[in-house]
Amino acid sequence: MAVCAGLCRRLRFLSSDNDLAHVTSNSSKPHDLQALDSLTGGAFTAPTSGERASRIRDWLASNPAPEQMQEVFKELSGRDKGAARLLREKLDELKRAKGQEAIAAEWAQKAEGLLGQSKLNIADALAWQRDAAKAGAPLSREPLAGFKVRLAERIKGIEDLQHRAQVHREAAVLLAQRFEVLSTKGWQDAQVAEESLRTDVTHWQQQAADIVADANWTSLDAKFAPQLESSKAQLLVVSDAFHSALAQAIAAAADAAAPLRVLFAHWADSPVKLRFIGAAQLLAVLAESAPNNERGIDDVWWQLHMAALRLMHLPDDFELVALNYCITYEVSPPSWQDPRGEYSAIAAPVSTPSRMGSVWSLLSVGGESESFPSAGSGFAALAGDLRGESPSSLQRLDADLRGGTAPVISCAALLRMDLAAAAALLGWVRERDAKGERVQFVDAHRLIATLFGLVGIADHATVALRKN
């Protein structure tokens, strides 16, 4: 046993000598054991495995180069597997990090491609984040964290722009409804709101231009562009039609005062029996059109107001308006003259006609007048804007002309007539002519007289033009 122990000690000594000789013989290597031991802080000469592991940990904390760690691992793996495991884990970690860098570079390139597109598909942007996470890309670290935020902001911008476009289309509908509501009201109310509406439409157009100019506009679904353009076109059509109609109404209202004053004076000087519907409303409108102490208002509105009061047999109201007229324009007040005809106010019918502005018979007359036939003649009048067939209106003419042998119809207040109304009137005139009652149309405008000639009314009736 003693011999065997001696041989073992001898062999261990020889092995140590051989190792030392091997290190000495290879001292020319760039990383021999002495150099590696010095590099690692004495890890190779540490007496115990725990101390070697501790020195390897301290050395790894200094972030050595991967080549150095590989060389140390190669030499240490055959001597101390526990300490070598620390090196293996660090090398594996570096390998994984290098792989993630390659993955990050790949997905960063894909993100740059998406962000560089003028038309970004939201589905593609969402798929980038999902697929990058599946591939193990480090989305929580730069540069992918930054690309993730930029793509999320781009998606939010597109969705917000879609919402703005939808809301803007609804705003166009509401604006168009405002035009439609005002179209059913009086032109004065429409005139008050006109500038506000014009401003709102201009503002709507500017907002629509801002939406289209947004960088994300091309990324919206293809349906949004034609929808917004259609809303714009429809809004402008409604707006232009409203402003055009309002301008015509204002012009008509301005031009209506003078001829209506002449007509009212004509009726007041004639032995007529007048029946008015809505007289109080007419007087209220005339009073509003001729405000006190407003010299900028055309005085024809004052004259029309006074002519209406005279026509309605209201001398006290006439004197008050005449006095205010005198104060406003600093002129002598007109004097009251008793009207020759009769006047009565009647209640409005329960049912209104389907077409507005058609008034066939307003008055009847019996007696003598400079403009009308002598007693024994029936008299009626056509007035307003006559459209379409109206059997009830023809019956009203018959009632007004009942008992007269020479029917006379005044056209002084007749503004216009369409072909359907002219055709109905032609049939009525033919009937009268066949009975030997040739109708006389007096005070007709030349355009009305031309229409009567074209449709054949002049062949069965006498048409006299107005003198003024």
What is the chain's mean pLDDT, rounded? 78
Terminal-to-terminal C-alpha distance of the chain: 158
239 within 8 A of 193, measured Cβ to Cβ = no
Rounded CA separation 264/267 (Å): 5
pLDDT for residue 92: 74
Nearest 5°: phi and psi at 382?
-110, 135
Going by pLDDT thresholds of 50, 70 and 90, the confidence category of residue 353 is very low
Position 3 pLDDT exceeds 50: no
Residue with structure tokens 């168009």? Answer: 176
Torsion of CA 172, 178, 180, 185, to 10 degrees: -170
Length of the chain equals 468
Give whole-number Cα distances, 213 to 191, 205, 209, 404, in Å.
34, 12, 6, 75
Q: Which residue did the predictor score with more confidence, 206 or 407? A: 206
Report the greatest alpha carbon distance in the chain.
Answer: 173
Nearest 5°: phi and psi at 256?
-80, -25
pLDDT for residue 308: 92
Rounded CA separation 426/458 (Å): 9
**Taking Cα atoms as reference points, which of 274, 298, 289, 261 lies closest to residue 413?**
261
| Cα four-point dihedral sign 116, 117, 119, 124 | negative
pLDDT for residue 138: 73
Q: Which residue did the predictor score with more confidence, 392 or 44? A: 44
- Its pTM stands at 0.42
pLDDT for residue 337: 93
Q: Dump the DSSP string for 210-268.
A: HHHHSTTGGGS-TTHHHHHHHHHHHHHHHHHHHHHHHHHHHHHHHHHHHHHHHHHHHHH
Going by pLDDT thresholds of 50, 70 and 90, the confidence category of residue 350 is very low
Q: Provide the 8-state DSSP code for 47.
A: S
Each residue of 246-255: pLDDT tens digit?
888 887 776 7
Highest mean pLDDT among 13-17, 71-75, 133-137, 427-431: 427-431
* DSSP-derived 3-state class of residue 401: coil
**Taking Cα atoms as reference points, which of 175, 192, 285, 307 lies closest to residue 237?**
175
Rounded CA separation 381/378 (Å): 11
Task: Say which amino acid occupies 79.
Answer: R
Going by pLDDT thresholds of 50, 70 and 90, the confidence category of residue 198 is very high
Indicate the range of 78-92, 147-161, 452-466 predicted with least confidence. Answer: 78-92
Going by pLDDT thresholds of 50, 70 and 90, the confidence category of residue 313 is very high
Going by pLDDT thresholds of 50, 70 and 90, the confidence category of residue 22 is very low
pLDDT more than 70, % of the chain? 84
Going by pLDDT thresholds of 50, 70 and 90, the confidence category of residue 378 is low
Indicate the range of 5-19, 20-34, 216-230, 373-387 predicted with least confidence. Answer: 5-19
- Please tell me the number of Cα atoms within 13 Å of 71 on its side-chain side: 16
Going by pLDDT thresholds of 50, 70 and 90, the confidence category of residue 38 is confident
Q: Dump the DSSP string for 425-461.
A: HHHHHHHHHHTT--EEEEEE-HHHHHHHHHHTGGGTE
Measure the CA angle with vertex 372, ends 252 and 437; round to 5°. Answer: 105
Going by pLDDT thresholds of 50, 70 and 90, the confidence category of residue 306 is very high
- The mean per-residue pLDDT over the stretch 414-429 comes to 85
- The mean per-residue pLDDT over the stretch 6-14 comes to 42
The whole-angstrom distance between residue 151's C-alpha and the CA centroid of its chain comes to 30
Going by pLDDT thresholds of 50, 70 and 90, the confidence category of residue 307 is very high
Rounded CA separation 359/412 (Å): 13
Indicate the range of 95-109, 140-154, 160-174, 205-219 predicted with least confidence. Answer: 95-109
Q: Where are the alpha helices (DSSP H) in 269-375?
A: 279-289, 300-311, 315-329
Position 12 pLDDT exceeds 70: no
358 within 8 A of 393, measured Cβ to Cβ = yes
Each residue of 236-274: pLDDT tens digit?
988 888 888 888 888 777 677 888 888 888 888 988 888
Q: Which residue did the predictor score with more confidence, 106 or 217? A: 217
Going by pLDDT thresholds of 50, 70 and 90, the confidence category of residue 462 is very high
Give whole-number Cα distances, 36 to 33, 88, 150, 313, 366, in Å.
5, 17, 48, 129, 138
What b-and-e string marks burial along 239-264, b requiring 16 or more CB atoms within 10 Å of the CB?
beebbeebeeeeeebeeebebbbbbb
pLDDT for residue 347: 62
Q: Which two tokens stand for residue 267?
A: 């009726």
Q: Which residue did the predictor score with more confidence, 405 or 437? A: 437
β-strands 461-465, 408-417: how paired? unpaired
Position 374 pLDDT exceeds 80: no
Position 93 pLDDT exceeds 70: yes
Rounded CA separation 212/225 (Å): 8
pLDDT for residue 16: 40
Residue 272, H or E segment: strand 272-277
Position 59 pLDDT exceeds 70: yes
pLDDT for residue 62: 85
Indicate the range of 126-135, 361-370, 387-396 predicted with least confidence. Answer: 361-370
